[in-house]
């Protein structure tokens, strides 16, 4: 009888230890995922700022092209700024939505898929809405300053477009070199510290059996 009682006591103790271990693992998971959530907040706020910029570009573009319907160069400039503003706004909203969409209560594998989708969209966002600024700022200045074509305008525009083109080409060469040399990914988007930290947190959870 004493042996049975001892065996039962060991079984009860074993279940208690298992329950305690499960609780500790869950608390560890929650702490790490909360750290990941905090790390992605700056990215979310950055997308809101980008969306605000997109709205500003839309308003600037509309103001420019509607005021110069009879001036082809300024009409094209306004339409270009307007279109770029729309793309900037949409990409910002999509990226921000993917940040909010992450389900921290889901299994680790599912969260990794969601973060991978965010990283992919962020890469597109960075390259589509970021890289063109080497050249695009010239059109924004033209639209904002309401500069109509004149004797000095073409030279100024050509010089700055050439400088921007050189900068864009140098950036592209740097990205290709970094990818081929194994020093980093071939896109500017992966510079997001929040995404990098989130990936490390999920890797730690996956290695610790937090599936």
For residue 31, what pLDDT is reported? Answer: 79
For residue 58, what pLDDT is reported? Answer: 96
Token readout for 8 is 């039962």
Q: How far apart are CA 76 and CA 80, in angstroms?
A: 6
Closest CA to 197 of 103, 110, 118, 88: 118
For residue 9, what pLDDT is reported? Answer: 54
For residue 29, what pLDDT is reported? Answer: 65
Q: pTM for the complete prediction? A: 0.76
pLDDT tens digit at each of 211 positions of the chain: 465 655 655 555 555 555 554 445 556 667 778 888 888 999 999 999 999 999 999 999 999 999 888 888 889 989 999 999 999 999 999 999 999 999 888 888 888 899 999 999 998 998 899 888 888 888 888 888 766 555 556 677 777 778 888 887 887 787 777 767 765 554 554 567 788 888 888 887 777 654 4
Tell me, what DSSP letter sits at residue 202?
H
Instruction: Show me where the domains of the chain are located.
Output: 2-131+189-207
Q: How far apart are CA 61 and CA 67, in angstroms?
A: 10
The gap between the terminal CA atoms of the chain, to the nearest Å, is 41
Tell me, what DSSP letter sits at residue 185?
-
For residue 141, what pLDDT is reported? Answer: 84
For residue 210, what pLDDT is reported? Answer: 46
Q: How far apart are CA 30 and CA 44, in angstroms?
A: 20
For residue 99, what pLDDT is reported? Answer: 94
For residue 189, what pLDDT is reported? Answer: 45
Cβ atoms 100, 87 nearer than 8 A:
no
- Residue the block writes with tokens 């939505």: 97
Token readout for 166 is 């050189």
């Amino acid at each position: 009888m004493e042996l049975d009682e001892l065996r039962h006591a060991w079984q009860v103790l074993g279940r208690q230890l298992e329950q305690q271990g499960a609780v500790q693992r869950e608390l560890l998971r929650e702490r790490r995922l909360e750290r990941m959530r905090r790390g992605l907040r700056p990215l979310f706020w950055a997308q809101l700022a980008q969306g605000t910029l997109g709205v500003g570009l839309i308003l600037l573009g509309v103001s420019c092209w509607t005021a110069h319907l009879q001036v082809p160069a300024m009409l094209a400039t306004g339409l270009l700024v307007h279109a770029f503003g729309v793309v900037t706004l949409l990409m910002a909203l999509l990226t921000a939505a993917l940040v909010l969409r992450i389900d921290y209560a889901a299994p680790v594998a599912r969260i990794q898929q969601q973060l991978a989708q965010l990283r992919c969209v962020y890469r597109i966002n960075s390259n589509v809405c970021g890289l063109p600024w080497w050249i695009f700022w010239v059109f924004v200045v033209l639209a904002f300053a309401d500069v109509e074509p004149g004797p000095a305008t073409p030279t100024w525009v050509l010089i700055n477009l050439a400088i921007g083109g050189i900068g864009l080409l140098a950036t592209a060469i740097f990205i290709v070199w970094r990818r081929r040399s194994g020093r980093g990914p071939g896109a500017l988007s992966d510079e997001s510290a929040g995404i990098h930290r989130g990936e490390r947190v999920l890797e730690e959870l996956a290695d610790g059996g937090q599936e």
